[in-house]
Amino acid sequence: MNKEGNFIYTVEVCFSPKLYPEILTKEDFIVVLVDILRATTSICTAFENGVKTIIPVASLDEARILKAQGYLVASEQDGKKLDFADFGNSAFSFTRDKIEGKTLVYCTTNGTRALETAKDAKTIAMGAFVNITALKNWLLKENKNVVILCSGWKNKFCLEDSIFAGALTDALLATPGFITRCDSAKAALDLWSLAKHDILGYIEKAAHRHRLKRLGLDDVIPYSFISDLTSVVPVFNGKEIIKIV
């Protein structure tokens, strides 16, 4: 407890799914999954536009089978939409007219892998700039420790997820209920302090920003770094992603 008698919870940042087994937070915690470019940004957008549920799958074979069963399927590999899929992974694909009230099957390179990594966690919430304040407010009410899990790019550290981890850590530490003892969280805070005044300028140097540009998929980048476009908090319940807030 702190001086004011509030319980104190910890924030820990994990820069890659490969580092998730090493987290120090042992007690009951919420995982915030982050894949700014583009899975968690797209998932928040889909719920903002009325999708009913999202079924994340880790393999293309699963996605193909579910497509044959009549599901709407969003699927990409290395940033490219696959030919059998209805959508790629861009937030701009998930317009209300196409997804409202529907169930969407979702398969991505990095995001789904990170979800698989953390599947033993009781609660996995989807975090992105587009829902950051709603997410923070929900986390404050949950009274649990928080582990921010960056999806990275092919298990490598990536700048865009790391600055989001810094932004969310910053927002949580600004309240009396959270502290951190985690070097990754402190580094993320520092990177966010350098990025926050000109996020798009900062993210110019990110490798994935250039990968998306080569693929002609960088139209979604400015959108992905705008805060609070939605108040949804999507949560994975072990089987599917639903809107909890």
Q: Residues in contact with a second copy, total (CB under 8 A)?
A: 28
Site stretch for a second copy (CB under 8 A), options 25-33, 56-64, 182-190, 220-228: 182-190
Contacts of 5 by beta carbon, 8 Å cutoff, 6+ apart: none
Nearest to 149 by CA among 27, 13, 10, 37: 13
Does the footprint of a second copy cover residue 232 (CB under 8 A)?
no
Expressed in angstroms, the distance from the first to the final Cα of the chain is 27
13-42: contacts with a second copy (CB under 8 A): 15-16, 18-19, 22, 24
Question: Footprint of a second copy on residues 146-165 (CB under 8 A)?
Answer: 153-159, 162
Least gap, CB of 148 to a second copy (angstroms): 13
Question: Any contact of residue 184 with a second copy (CB under 8 A)?
Answer: yes
Q: Residue 149 CB, nearest distance to a second copy (Å)?
A: 13
Which residues make up the interface to a second copy (CB under 8 A)? 15-16, 18-19, 22, 24, 153-159, 162, 181-184, 186-187, 190-191, 193-194, 205-208
